[in-house]
Structure 1
Amino acid sequence: MPIECIPYSETGYFSPIMCDYLAEKSTLKPFYNRFPTLENFEAQIKEKQESNLTDKSQREVLVKALLKQYHDFDNSVFTLGNIAKLTKENTFTITTGHQLNLFTGPLYFLYKIISTINLSSELKRQYPQYDFVPIYWMASEDHDFDEISYFNYKGKKVRWNREASGAVGELSTKGLDEVFEEFSKKLGTSDNAKYLQSLFEDGYLKHNNLADATRYIANELFKQYGLVIVDGNDKALKQLFIPFVEDELFKQTTHKKVLETAEKLTEVNDSYKIQVNPREINLFYITEGIRERIIEKNGVFTVNNTSVRWNSAQLKQEVHEYPARFSPNALLRPLYQEIILPNLCYIGGGGELAYWLELKSYFEAVHVTFPMLLLRNSAVVKTEKQSKKMEKLNISNADLFLKREAFITKKVKELSEIKIDFTSQKEHLQQQFKDLYILAEQTDKSFIGAVAAQETKQLKGLAHLEKRLLTAQKKGLKDKVSRSTELQEGLFPKNSLQERKQNFSELYLEYGENLIPTLIKHLQPLSGEFLVLEL
Structure 2
Amino acid sequence: MKVDCLPFRKTGYFSDIICDYLDEEDSLKPFYNRFPSVQNFEGQITEKAKTFPDKNREVLYDALQNQYKGFTVSKKTQENLRQLKEPITFTVVTGHQLNLFTGPLYFLYKIISTINLTKQLKEAYPKYNFVPVYWMATEDHDFDEINYFNFKGKKIQWNKDVSGAVGHLSTDGLDDVLDIFSNVIGSSNNAQRLKELFKNAYVKHKNLTGATRYLANELFADHGLVIVDGDDNGLKRLLIPYAEKDIFENIPFISVTETISQLEVLPKSYAIQVNPREINYFYLIDGVRERIVEADGRYGVNGKKISWSKEELMKELNDFPERFSPNVISRPLYQEVILPNLCYIGGGGELAYWLELKHMFGKMGVPFPILLLRNSALIITEKQDEKLNKMDLSTTDLFLKQSSFINKKIREISNIDIDFSSQKQLLENQFKEMYELAEKTDKSFLGAVRAQEVKQKKGLDNLEKRLLRAQKRKLKDQVQRMTEIQNELFPAKSLQERTLNFSELYLEMGEELIPNLVRALNPLSLEFAILTTK
* Alignment partners' CA distance in 2, 1:398 and 1:59: 46
**1:423 aligns to 2:406 (yes or no):** no
Matches within 5 A, 1:189-200: 189-200=187-198
1:316-349: CA deviation from partner (whole Å, max 9, x where unpaired): 1110011011111112111110010010000000
* Alignment partners' CA distance in 2, 1:438 and 1:526: 59
**1:507 aligns to 2:505 (yes or no):** yes
Matches within 5 A, 1:114-129: 114-129=112-127
**1:131 aligns to 2:129 (yes or no):** yes
Q: Which amino acid aligns with 1:332?
A: S
The Cα of 1:438 is off from its aligned counterpart by 3.3
User: What's the Cα RMSD here?
Assistant: 1.2
Deviates more, 1:5-14 or 1:267-276: 267-276
Q: Which amino acid aligns with 1:334?
A: P
Matches within 5 A, 1:75-474: 75-474=73-472
Aligned partner of 2:53 in structure 1 is 55
Aligned partner of 2:477 in structure 1 is 479
* Alignment partners' CA distance in 1, 2:291 and 2:25: 37
* Alignment partners' CA distance in 2, 1:335 and 1:435: 69
The Cα of 1:397 is off from its aligned counterpart by 0.8
* Alignment partners' CA distance in 2, 1:448 and 1:261: 54
The Cα of 1:384 is off from its aligned counterpart by 1.1
Q: Which amino acid aligns with 1:27?
A: S
Q: Which amino acid aligns with 1:413?
A: R
1:86-108: CA deviation from partner (whole Å, max 9, x where unpaired): 11111100000000000000000
**1:11 aligns to 2:11 (yes or no):** yes
* Alignment partners' CA distance in 1, 2:302 and 2:216: 34
* Alignment partners' CA distance in 2, 1:246 and 1:524: 40
Q: Which amino acid aligns with 1:248?
A: D
The Cα of 1:355 is off from its aligned counterpart by 0.3
The Cα of 1:288 is off from its aligned counterpart by 1.6
* Alignment partners' CA distance in 2, 1:171 and 1:127: 41
* Alignment partners' CA distance in 2, 1:453 and 1:49: 71
1:411-470: CA deviation from partner (whole Å, max 9, x where unpaired): 222232222222222222223333333333344445433333222222222212222222
Aligned partner of 1:532 in structure 2 is 530
Q: State the secondary structure of the residue aligned to 2:439.
A: helix
* Alignment partners' CA distance in 1, 2:16 and 2:431: 38
* Alignment partners' CA distance in 1, 2:440 and 2:455: 23
- Which consecutive unaligned segments of at least 5 residues does structure 2 have? none
- Which consecutive unaligned segments of at least 5 residues does structure 1 have? none
* Alignment partners' CA distance in 2, 1:428 and 1:95: 61
* Alignment partners' CA distance in 2, 1:511 and 1:275: 37
* Alignment partners' CA distance in 2, 1:202 and 1:331: 34
1:252-281: CA deviation from partner (whole Å, max 9, x where unpaired): 111111112112112114431111111121
Q: State the secondary structure of the residue aligned to 2:265.
A: helix
Aligned partner of 1:30 in structure 2 is 30
Q: Percent identity?
A: 59
* Alignment partners' CA distance in 2, 1:464 and 1:50: 68
* Alignment partners' CA distance in 1, 2:329 and 2:22: 22
The Cα of 1:170 is off from its aligned counterpart by 0.3
Deviates more, 1:217-226 or 1:466-475: 466-475
* Alignment partners' CA distance in 2, 1:271 and 1:471: 37
* Alignment partners' CA distance in 2, 1:217 and 1:115: 18
* Alignment partners' CA distance in 2, 1:449 and 1:281: 63
* Alignment partners' CA distance in 1, 2:446 and 2:309: 76
The Cα of 1:388 is off from its aligned counterpart by 1.1
The Cα of 1:34 is off from its aligned counterpart by 0.6
Relative to structure 1, the CA distance from residue 380 to residue 454 in structure 2 (aligned partners, 3 Å threshold; closer, same or farther) is same
* Alignment partners' CA distance in 2, 1:149 and 1:338: 28
Q: Which amino acid aligns with 1:327?
A: S
Q: State the secondary structure of the residue aligned to 1:100.
A: coil
Q: State the secondary structure of the residue aligned to 1:268.
A: coil
